[in-house]
A and B are shown apart, each in its own frame.
Chain A
Amino acid sequence: MKDVTENVLIRTEKLTKRYGSLLVLDEIDEVIREGERVAIIGPSGSGKSTFLRCLNCMEDPTSGSIYFGGEDIADMRVDINRHRENIGMVFQSFNLFNNKTVLQNIMLAPVYVGKRNLRRAKVGNFFLPLTNLFRRQKKEPAEITTTKAEIVKAACENAMRLLERIGLSEKANVYPSTLSGGQKQRIAIVRALAMNPKVMLFDEPTSALDPEMVGEVLDLIRQLADEGMTMVIVTHEMGFAREVADRVLFMDGGKIAEQGSPAELFENPQNPRTQQFLKAVL
């Protein structure tokens, strides 16, 4: 294994998840490094989706810690929203906002976050004379370089750039119900990208798609991988996992049963359970 402390993005420590008496994740210690592309494979019910959803606290872990951005995000006191801005997530069932157009879908979060930061800076500056009374080292007012209109404009331009990239710019003003599954999933991916995340989590991104549309979505993910985006992919596409991933985790019974480079894991699996699984799916 490489040096563990180098460029660590997400680290889980004794990550455990229970649903009642059912143990789904069993004390998982795992590290995701910057620029790494990790594929998670395994049989149904092995906890691979739950593990992925725990990484941005969509599911709160029962015990254990998840370190991201220098904080334990499994701690309920941490502002999870601030960290989720840096963790993009793509779902199996796309989950585009049905009441918003494609462009609004992509712009919603960046505009909200931008306006919120602007508002906080303004409120902070307003109360600065008051709060500085209690500070030994006086604080300078935060510099406000942008306006609400500029934030919206920048978000809109960014969204259009992303849409052009996936070749769907003419769909900017239609509602998601008019799109095909592949188009929806590609838009869901760029919606996550619009926040400039440090890591992308893919939860079976192609499982709900027609076989015909799997290719276009995988192509987009492959492009992202080539650009050096850190990503964690739960997938049933063994060929894709083998091609894109730097490291493959095989999960079974809430544990990581085996892991290694795709070549090692697919050509020469050590664990009997892995051998059995790969024999069945390949």
Chain B
Amino acid sequence: MIKFLKKHWMDILVIICVVALLAVLCMSVYTRFRFEKKWNIFWDYFVENNGYRKVLTGLQNTVYIAVLGLAIGLVIGTLIAVVKVLPGYKKLVRYAQTVCNIYVAFFRGTPIVVQLLLGYYILLPLLGVQLSQVNSCVLIFGLNSGAYISEIMRGGINSVDPGQLEAARAVGLPFSVSMLKVVVPQAVKNILPTLGNEFITLIKETAVVGYVGAMDITKAFQDQGSNSYEYMIPYLVMALIYIILVAFIAFLVKLMERRLAKSERRN
């Protein structure tokens, strides 16, 4: 017994300290933060004063921006990736590649908030384009994710056996059709997990659309917090909603992967 104590007195001390600290923390959280009161305030605002409506709009906008942004990003990203893998025989191709490089450098090199501010307050008014806040967010997020997806897609296209493109060209299909029907579908299958990751990132990045006044989950709960002077529970609920969203997307990606893998299975 004494031997044991002599050997482990340090560990025991640490354990006791940690347990004591935790206990103190729990006690103070319970007494100082007054959960019950906070929960009542939250419930009051959230349900009885229709706070949940704002949250539902926010949820809808978050999903809307992320899904449409990903769709735009996929189109732009695929186009850029195809331009980048073209053989640079012609001058026009090389110019297009330079333009694509500049595009990717800009959108990867600046924070999304900066792009939002630039786009919403400067570029769109300059061009005279009238877009709602949410739709301008869709546009900017689409352009932004296009830059990231182009790099993912380029890797995917490079991972497809060059013989596939050759065979498609050899039966007389033009480059564009060979890419669209043969190479890109195989590339997408290879990069699907990475694309799912990109979508998850996109969903979480939409938390900054409040900067231009668009209503999303974050903005909704922030508003609720500042209206009720009570932030803790709204923010915790907000985090929970994001986690559930992301878990749901991860599940969908898994399903799609399994579906697309059918060309590899024996039957």
Contacts and interface: CB of A to CB of B under 8 A. Distances in A.
A195 B167 CA distance: 13
B133 interface: no
Contacts of A84: 169-172
Interface string A74-114: 00000001101101110101011111100000001100110
B263 A177 contact: yes
Interface residues of B, number: 24
Given A108-B181, A174-B267, A178-B267, A97 B164 contact: yes
A56 to B, nearest CB: 6
A96 B170 contact: no
Interface string B173-184: 110010001100
Q: Is the interface of B mostly helix, strand, loop or mixed?
A: helix
A195 B169 CA distance: 13
Closest 3 pairs between A and B when the two form their complex, measured CB to CB: A95-B167, A85-B172, A109-B171
Interface of B: 161, 163-164, 166-174, 177, 181-182, 185-186, 189, 262-267
Contact of A85 (B168, B171, B266): B171
Interface of A: 56, 58, 81-82, 84-85, 87-89, 91, 93, 95-100, 108-109, 112-113, 174-175, 177-178, 188, 191-192, 195
A17 to B, nearest CB: 15
Contacts, number: 74
Contact of B168 (A88, A93, A97, A174): A97
Given A97-B168, A98-B186, A99-B263, A108 B163 contact: no
A56 B171 CA distance: 10
A58 B172 contact: no
Contacts of A177: 263-264, 266
A192 B266 CA distance: 25
Contact of A95 (B164, B173, B263): B164
A195 B173 CA distance: 11
